[in-house]
Structures are given as C-alpha cells and as structure tokens.
Structure 1
Amino acid sequence: MSGCSGGVSSQPAAGMQQMDLTKLSLQQLAQLKQHVFQELTILQDSLQTLKIAQTKFVDSGECVEKITPDTKGKEILVPLTGSIYVPGFIADTENVIIDIGTGYYIQKDVVGAKDYFKRKVEFVTEHMEKIQSMGIEKTKIKDAICEVIEEKTSQSAKVNT
C-alpha cells in the first residue's frame, strides 16, 4: 500500500508509506492508479458482502425478538433453503436453533440468541466502518494520483506546443 504527498495532506496510515507522486512518470502513475482502483473495488465488494451479512443478522435478531410465550403452537414457515419453506409450528418458545455458519447450528435460549445476533451485528458494523475509512483514504489517494496525472499531462501538452 502506498500513500502520497502530491495532493493528499494527511499523514500516512499505519502500514502505508508516503511517496511524492510528482516524481513518478506518467506510466508509473497510471499503474499506481490502476492498483488503487483495484483496491477500491475489493473494498467495495467487501463492504457489500458485510452489508448482506449485517442485514441477515439484524433480520435473525428481529425474528428471535418475536418469539414469546404467546407464540407457542403458532404456525410459521420454516426455511429449508434460501427459497424453500415448509409449514411448521413453534413448539418451544424458550429455546431456538440458530445457524452459526458453515452448516453448524446450535441451540440457545432466546436471551442468548438475541445477545448472539446483537454481538454479530456490532462485529460486522465495526468491520464495515474500518473498510469505509480505508475506502475514504484510497479515494483520496486516487484523487491525488488523478490530479498529478492531469498536471503532468497539461505540462507535457504545453511543452509540445
């Protein structure tokens, strides 16, 4: 990863080195720009994946919230897959079986399940915030690179005329 000083005034983040973009050739700047675009795409994809996970955890937590002693015996649709549901009845309002990932399920009491989904939402949200801040820094770098490319291109055009 690389920071820049040609247009970005912030200190480099941990693990980043500062570089004077004005000393790079147009070809090097183009390569660096391409690399930063790829990193931004990866960050955007990661953010989208985390947003989907966050939504699933929020939805699951909301479903657990709806389980009360009054719901015992009520009919529900039980998901077998993402698109196949079968009718069922709520037999136990004190315990639920939750999917913890990679095909593993555990039984938890309703309070424990609520806490589990709350912690998962907080965990995913924290990671989303980190990725968003990384994206902001990468965007600043990309903008600085584009600015230097534009300056060098206009200087080159002035010299050639």
Structure 2
Amino acid sequence: MSQISLAEQPHLQQIDLTKLNLQQLTLLKQQLDQELTVFQDSLQTLKIAQTKFQESGSCLDKVTPEAKGKEILVPLTGSMYVTGQMGETENVLVDIGTGYFAEKNIEDAKTYFQNRVTYVSEQMMKIQQLGLEKSRIREATVEVIEMKLQGLGPKDLAERT
C-alpha cells in the first residue's frame, strides 16, 4: 500500500511513498485533495447537465399535434414567464451550445437529448473511476504520513499491510 501508480497512464512510474519526506508527502496529499475537489465539482456540473438533457427530452413528449394552438407559458428569464400559443409542433429548435441552435423534428430532438445523456453519463463514470484511484492514492499517502509521524520505518509499514 506504500507504493502508488496509475494503471491507466503507463507513462507514469511507480513511486515508493516511504522514500518521500514529510514535506513531499504533505504536498502530494494537498495536490490529491485539490484534484479530488476538481473531480467532485466536475461531477456536480455534469450531473446538472445530465438532468437538463433528461428534462429537455421528456418535455418533447408534450409537443404533439394536439398541442398546436394551446396556451403555454414562455420563459423570459429564470423566474418570469409570459403566456403564448403553441405554434409549430413538428419541429423544435435545440440549443446545441455556445449560442447555436439547430432545427430538428421531434424524434431527432429526442435522439439528440438521449445521446447527450449517454455521453454525459459515460464522462461521469470516467471521472468517478479517476476519483476512486486518486482517493486510494490519497489514503495510502495519509497512511505513510501517519507512519512517519509515529516514527515507524518502511519495514514496520510492510508488516502493517
């Protein structure tokens, strides 16, 4: 447990944590803490995006030919709406990012949102795996720091694991 390596990145070498001094271990732990925070923030952002794509896809179920001409609420801001009437029900404008919109029929729009949900979910899984690996490395680093603070040597650590 006192040696760490990242299996997904073969260009990195294995490091024996017991050969690092307390300052190096502390810096490593701080770096890992920062990376874990970034991973958590990224997961939070991706979860929000995933939810928005899912909501957008499910809203398309309400756009039917029967809805044409019905009264709807149109958002002007996050908290202000005006009444309007449903116009076209065959096509919708889909926000594809950075201020660009694409006109799609309902089925294509549903497929687009489902594909976005799938992609975001895959990215979340990748980040979770990286986070677990970084967390494991952090735990090993903390263990070695504690060992060094208690004055135990590498031989003692090997007996503990």
Q: Which residue of 2 aligns with 1:6?
A: 2
Q: How many Å apart are 1:11 and its aligned residue?
A: 6.0
Pick the aligned partner of 1:60 from 25, 35, 56.
56
Task: Quote the RMSD (CA, aligned, Å).
Answer: 1.7
What TM-score do you get using the length of structure 1 for normalisation? 0.87
Quickly say closer, same or farther: Cα 1:79–1:149, change in 2 above 3 A: same
Q: How many Å apart are 1:73 and its aligned residue?
A: 1.5
Q: How many Å apart are 1:86 and its aligned residue?
A: 1.9
What TM-score do you get using the length of structure 2 for normalisation? 0.87
Task: Output the amino acid matched with 1:24.
Answer: L
Distance 1:100 1:80 in 2: 19
Alignment of 1:145-160 (within 5 A): 145-155=141-151
Conserved in 1, the CA contact under 8 Å of 2:3 and 2:15? Answer: no
Pick the aligned partner of 1:25 from 15, 21, 31.
21
Alignment of 1:4-153 (within 5 A): 6=2, 12-14=7-9, 15-153=11-149
Distance 1:7 1:62 in 2: 48
Task: Output the amino acid matched with 1:6.
Answer: S
Could you tell me which runs of 5 or more consecutive residues in structure 2 were left unpaired when the two chains were aligned.
Answer: 153-161
Runs of 4+, deviation exceeding 4 Å? none
Could you tell me which runs of 5 or more consecutive residues in structure 1 were left unpaired when the two chains were aligned.
Answer: 157-161
Distance 1:11 1:29 in 2: 17
Conserved in 2, the CA contact under 8 Å of 1:7 and 1:147? Answer: no
Task: Output the amino acid matched with 1:120.
Answer: R
Deviations 1:44-79 (A, max 9, x none): 111111111111101100101221122112221122
Secondary structure of the residue aligned to 2:92 is strand
